[in-house]
Amino acid sequence: MTLAASNRSPILRVAMSRDDLMMRLGVVLFAVVLLVIVGLPLWSLLAKAFEDRDGKFVGLANYVSYFSTPALFDSALNSLHVAAVCTLIVVPLAFFYAYALTRTVLPVRWLFQGISLIPIFAPSLLPGLALVYLFGNQGFFKGALGGPIYGFDGIVIAQIFYCFPHATLILVTALTTADARLYEAADALGASKLRVFFTVTLPGAKYGLISAALVVFTMVITDFGIAKVIGGNFNVLATDVYKQVIGQQNFSMGAVVGMVLLAPAAIAFLVDRVVQRKQVALLTARAVPLIPKPKLGRDLFFTAFCTVVAAGILVILGMAAWGSLIKYWPYNLSLTLANYDFTNFDASGWDSYFNSVEMAVGAAVFGTTLMFVGAWLNEKTREFYLMRGIVQFLAFLPMAVPGLVLGLGYIFFFNAPNNPLNFLYATMGILVVNTVAHFYTVGHLTATTALKQIDPEFESVSASLKVPVWRTFGRVTAPICLPAILDIAIYLFVNGMTTVSSVIFLYSSDTKLASVAAVNIEESGATAVAAALCIVIVITSAAVKTLHVLADRFLLGRLQAWRRR
Amino acid sequence: MSHLEVRNLSKRYGDFTALGDISLDIAEGEFVCFLGPSGCGKTTLLRAIAGLDPQSSGTIHQKGRDISALPPSKRDFGIVFQSYALFPNLTVVDNVGYGLVSRREGKAAVGRRVTELLTLVGLPDAGPKYPAQLSGGQQQRVALARALATSPGLLLLDEPLSALDARVRLRLRHEIKALQRTLGVTTIMVTHDQEEALTMADRIVVMNQGAIEQVGTPQEIYRRPATAFVADFVGSMNFLAGTLVAPDKVKVDGFTFDCTAQDGLAPGAKVALCIRPEDVRVRDLPTDIANRVAVEVAELDFVGAFCRATLKVQGTADVAMTADFSSNLIRDLGVELGRKLDVALPPDRLRVFAA
Ligand SMILES: Nc1ncnc2c1ncn2[C@@H]1O[C@H](COP(=O)(O)OP(=O)(O)OP(=O)(O)O)[C@@H](O)[C@H]1O
Ligand SMILES: [Mg+2]
């Protein structure tokens, strides 16, 4: 009797607790926020590309005219060409550098690691400026390249500097996760060093290599500052967007170019997702970390290699710093601080610098809160799969969207007269929101990873003890994740200081940022002043990062005694 | 009245049925073990009872209250996970007091209760330490104290001992059992360790592939396994393939064994005749004893307290069984490889299952 009855018993619907209800509300709210700061601006951009200058729907007309204008279409090819060449150079370079950092015994390893990160703290403008000093029409080594630096060569060299740390970081991670036991097995089988490299090391770093290649490719295609400074007449997609929007005020065509720019970035992103998904299975094995043993010949070779690369980075940074201190290049090489008196060159003077700091702090505070709480809501809410899926998608979207494209979307969305959020336009607020949105994915991923690493049963325990879930968030989850929270905040601060591409359309005279001011000043020909501004940015973000590292090492250890065994 | 009534509980993941139509009663103050091989649905059942992963259909009543659709926070239970899930950034005192603080009891009252609990689990001095500074066994006791802090009516333990080494596990078995007896709290423990279940439980629920095979006291489960699965899973068991020739006679390769009358099986049915190795009799066999067979010792494995012998039944092609011989017996009878002797299979110790 019971069997027959049970088969017909209805599917059970479980009542929601107050916690469940609140968390679901939170997820919905969070989804709305992401929709406003990511989804809708992109949607506006998409729509704009189908309108003429007066806002009338013209179907594909803009796209037709884009592809039938050779000058515009050539830029797309140029972009692909530069990106491909940079990827082919940066990835091997970064791979050997990362290999040296993780698999050989380097003297002052920390220094080499630190130097490789320097470019992260600089606006992309900086390598461009340094190259102008080195190889420009009045440069030290002009003609050394057998042609003018402006154009393809300049862009490639500057991009190598700019992309190098990002590729290195990814590859260091990929090489650190190697399993020492594989090497022992290969050794025991008597495989030659070269064979071990090709059969164990390279395949082990395969996903890292693919990921690094995609990141470099996307960065080069979407970066704006370098092409702007050193591109000369060599047009690329990113400069085209800028010219269409700022130069010709042709927003529709700007939107079309933006969409074209979006395509390779989005494809690269999708490929990366597929690759990453495969990697997860690989990492679940219980690996034994590999600790390199000294070996003279190899260590000497890689020390030399790293020294050359590090020197290259330092020369570019040093050149920009030196240039910023010189009275009148190249005629009067005596040193001066006059170039740091920005009031003489730009109406906003030092204000732009303080705007930048204000914006970066704002982005760090607002962004970290949003990212961590949002990731927590999305991770810990029970069931509610559809909404959580939507949130996950929206949180991943910014990774695939170049800054320029997002910035354009912001103009169209927030500047629309009928948008109730219109008041945000041309305020510091919109710059903060835009920066948070632009860098959303990495912060979200960092938070999610940290949350996945803590015991999934904390919430179950709280529920059984009748403790509301937000209390466990405040007393347990957030404190445990403090290192990740700080990482996100610093990441946002540094990127807020250096970003150019997405905010270049959004500032007003009161809210001009240092990185944007540097672009404007460079445009007016005052290279030394632009370099000075870049150096101030580097010093600020590097100082904050150094503080973070020190705090992490000394302060956090003391505050979080529970981590010690 | 029973403390917990589970009726027709099912849990499906897509097409996969993790629990199929489970019904179960658990009495007030009882210590029940869910025992079964990995993946049989023990954890799933426990989590459904807690409301953490609700069932697809079926009902659960606790003390007469229908809790089938309640979220975990509205149910009355304390839980200890295999990972313990201690909050690493809180001291032992704060961990144990975690559920007390939100109940608006005075600070002093909470402090007293925590001290009382820590003494109860034998860690009176661990209060100011952090979980990472404790051994596995100590962490497990803190988790237990935390689960008991709010005096729940039902204590749920998911493989609480499996992360510990053998010695600590033995000691904690007794401690948990003693604690449970003192407090009288109804307890469900999930385990795949049969020894743990046999020593700790008042009743054992043996599960297999999402269904209950048998519910009974440890004695019943061991002495009278209801199914071939239980017979095989709990303890060691010899399975001899045969045919039921009369209600109380099984024929195995020419030999006919007497057994207790089987009413569930028709004569002629293919059956497995089962006997535990320790039930094989060797000493002082009366001449007219039932089920007497001549065997040859084919293997002899030293297992410590006793030897496990593989015995080939003489006059059959390949009928063999294992039997446990004490060291004394081996010495007294001079048992060695190749030695021929007579053994008897006592009919009341034989179990018969449809094959
Ligand atoms: N979320 C899920 N989705 C799909 N299948 C699941 C899920 N959770 C559990 N299962 C399946 O349900 C079955 C029972 O799982 P359960 O965790 O209850 O096993 P268990 O008896 O506790 O095993 P163990 O001793 O290994 O812990 C398993 O086959 C498992 O693969
Ligand atoms: Mg389990």
Model pLDDT for residues A424-468, shown as the tens digit of each residue: 888 889 999 999 999 998 899 889 888 988 888 999 999 999 999
Decide if pLDDT at A283 tops 70. Answer: no
CATH of domain A49-334: 1.10.3720.10
Q: If you average pLDDT over each of A516-525, B46-55, B310-319, which comes out highest?
A: B46-55
Choose which residue among B42, B162, B213 to substitute to test ligand 1 binding: the one with the highest number of ligand atoms within 8 A of its C-beta: B42
Q: Which residues of A touch B66 (CB under 8 A)?
A: none
* A15-70 per-position pLDDT tens digit: 778 888 999 999 999 999 999 999 999 999 888 888 887 778 888 888 888 888 88
Q: Stretch A249-272: mean pLDDT, rounded?
A: 83
Whole-number pLDDT of residue B210: 92
Number of residues written out for chain B: 355
CB contact under 8 A, A12 and B81: no
pLDDT tens digit sequence for A373-413: 999 999 899 888 899 988 988 888 888 788 888 998 998 89
Q: Provide the token pair at B62.
A: 């606790």
Which is more confidently placed, B289 or A34? Answer: A34
What is the predicted pLDDT for the residue at A3? 40
With a cut of 90, say whether residue B11 has pLDDT above it.
yes
Closest residue CA from atom 17 of ligand 1: B43
Q: Ligand 1 within 6 A of B43 CB?
A: yes
- Say whether pLDDT at A287 is over 70: no
Is B305 in the A-facing interface, judged by CB distances under 8 Å?
no
Pairing, β B249-252 against β B255-258: antiparallel
Specify the residue with its C-alpha closest to ligand 1, atom 26.
B38
Bridge partners of residue B240, in order along the sequence: B273
Contact present, A440 and A491 (Cβ < 8 Å): no
Report how far residue A397's alpha carbon sits from residue A392's, in angstroms, rounded to the nearest whole number: 9
Cα(A91)–Cα(B198) distance, rounded to whole angstroms? 61
Q: Does A558 touch chain B (CB under 8 A)?
A: no
Could you check whether the bond before residue A330 is cis, i.e. omega within 30 degrees of 0? yes
H-helix segments, A57-124:
61-67, 70-103, 109-117
Q: Where are the domains of chain B?
A: 2-231, 236-354
Q: Is B163 an 8 Å CB contact of chain A?
A: no
CB contact under 8 A, B83 and A455: yes
How many other C-beta atoms lie within 10 A of the C-beta of residue B333? 13
User: pLDDT-derived band of residue A2, with 50, 70 and 90 as boundaries?
Assistant: very low
Closest ligand 1 atom to the C-alpha of B13? 4
By the CB < 8 Å criterion, does B210 face chain A? no
Looking at chain A, how many residues does it have? 565
Region B316-329: what's the mean pLDDT?
A: 88
What pLDDT, on the 0 to 100 scale, is given for residue A279? 61
For ligand 1, atom 6: residue with the closest CA: B13
Over 70: is that where the pLDDT of A244 sits?
yes
DSSP calls for B15-76: TEEEEEEEEEEEETT-EEEEE-STTSSHHHHHHHHHTSS--SEEEEEETTEE-TT--GGGS-
| A296 Cβ under 8 Å from any chain B Cβ | no
**What's the pLDDT score for residue B204?**
96
Distance (Å) of CA A490 to CA A482, B1, B185, B232 = 12, 60, 50, 60
* CB B39 less than 6 A from any atom of ligand 1: yes
Q: Are A517 and A533 in contact (CB under 8 A)?
A: yes
Residue of A277 and B10 predicted with greater confidence: B10
pLDDT for res A273: 77
Encoding tokens for residue A559? Answer: 């505050």
Give the model's pLDDT for residue A48.
86
From the list A3, A5, A466, which residue is nearest B73 (CB)? A466
**Cβ–Cβ under 8 Å, residues B117 and B97:** no
Is B72 in CB contact (< 8 Å) with chain A?
Answer: yes
Q: Is the CB of B162 under 6 A from ligand 1?
A: no
If contacts are CB pairs under 8 Å, which of residues 50-109 in chain A contact chain B? Answer: none
A466 and B103 in contact by Cβ < 8 A?
yes
Cβ <8 Å between B52 and A460: yes
Nearest CB to B90; choose among A15, A465, A476: A476
Min CA distance, A556 vs chain B (Å)? 13
On chain B, the residues whose CB falls within 8 A of the CB of A12 are 54-58, 68-69
Chain B residues in contact with A384 (beta carbon < 8 A): none
For A129-144, the pLDDT digits (tens) are: 888 888 877 777 776 7
Average pLDDT over residues B261-281: 88
| Residue corresponding to tokens 């946002």 | A492
| Cβ–Cβ gap A466/B68 under 8 Å | no
CA of B40 to the centre of ligand 1 (A): 7
> Mean pLDDT for chain A?
85
- Ligand 1 proximity of B102 Cβ (cutoff 6 Å): no
Domain with residues B2-231, CATH architecture = 3-Layer(aba) Sandwich (3.40)
The string of DSSP letters for A19-46 reads HHHHHHHHHHHHHHHHIIIIIHHHHHHH
B19 lines ligand 1 (CB under 6 A): no
pLDDT at residue A528, as a whole number: 84
User: Cβ of A455 under 8 Å from any chain B Cβ?
Assistant: yes
Nearest atom within ligand 1 for CA of residue B82: 27
In angstroms, the CA A202 to CA A95 distance is: 10
Asked if B147 and A562 come within 8 Å (Cβ–Cβ), the reply is: no
The minimal CB distance from B8 to the residues A6, A15, A471 is found for: A6
Residue range A526-542: mean pLDDT, rounded: 89
Fold type of domain B236-354: OB fold (Dihydrolipoamide Acetyltransferase, E2P) (2.40.50)
Residue with tokens 């704009």: A48
Contact B52 A463 (CB under 8 A): yes
Chain B residues 24-43 with CB within 8 Å of chain A? none
State phi, psi for A359 to the nearest 5 degrees.
-65, -45
Q: What is the CA radius of gyration of chain A?
A: 26
The residue whose C-alpha atom lies closest to atom 14 belonging to ligand 1 is: B41
> What span, in angstroms and rounded, lies between the C-alpha atoms of A188 and A176?
22
- Ligand 2 centroid to Cα of residue A15, in Å, is 25
Answer whether B14 contacts ligand 1 (Cβ < 6 A). Answer: no
Q: pLDDT tens, A535-553? A: 999 999 999 999 998 888 8
Give residue-wise pLDDT tens across range B21-71. 999 999 999 999 999 999 999 999 999 999 998 899 999 999 999 998 898
C-beta atoms of B88 and A562 within 8 A: yes
Average pLDDT along chain B: 90
Q: What CATH topology corresponds to A342-380+416-565?
A: MetI-like fold (1.10.3720)
In this predicted model, which residue has the larger pLDDT, B267 or A374? A374
* Edge-to-edge order in the sheet of strand B340-344: B320-326, B306-313, B292-302, B340-344
Of B10, B50, B102, the CB nearest to A464: B50
Which chain A residue has the Cα nearest residue B82?
Answer: A457
A2 — contact with chain B (CB < 8 Å)? yes
Contacts of A555 (CB under 8 A, 6+ apart): none
User: Nearest to residue B164, comparing CAs of B139, B146, B144, B143?
Assistant: B139
Ligand 1 atom having least distance to the Cα of B14: 4
Q: Which of residues 475-534 of A touch B (CB under 8 A)?
A: 475-476, 479-480
Whether the predicted interface score ipTM is above 0.85: no
CA gyration radius, chain B: 25
Ligand 1 atom, smallest distance to B41 CA:
18
Rounded to the nearest 10°, the torsion over CA A464, A467, A470, A471 is -130
Chain centroid to CA A446:
13
B79: nearest CB among A461, A480, A565 = A461
B222 touches A: beta carbon within 8 Å: no
> Among A3, A6, A469, which would you mutate to test the B interface (most chain B Cβ atoms within 10 Å of its Cβ)?
A6
Q: Do A6 and B73 touch (CB under 8 A)?
A: no
Q: Side by side, which strands form the sheet with B2-13?
A: B16-27, B2-13, B57-62, B65-66
Residue ranges matching CATH 1.10.3720.10 in chain A: 49-334, 342-380+416-565
Ion ligand 2: residues, CB within 5 A, are B 43
Min Cα distance B247 → chain A (Å) is 29
Give me the residues paired with residue B324 across strands. Answer: B308
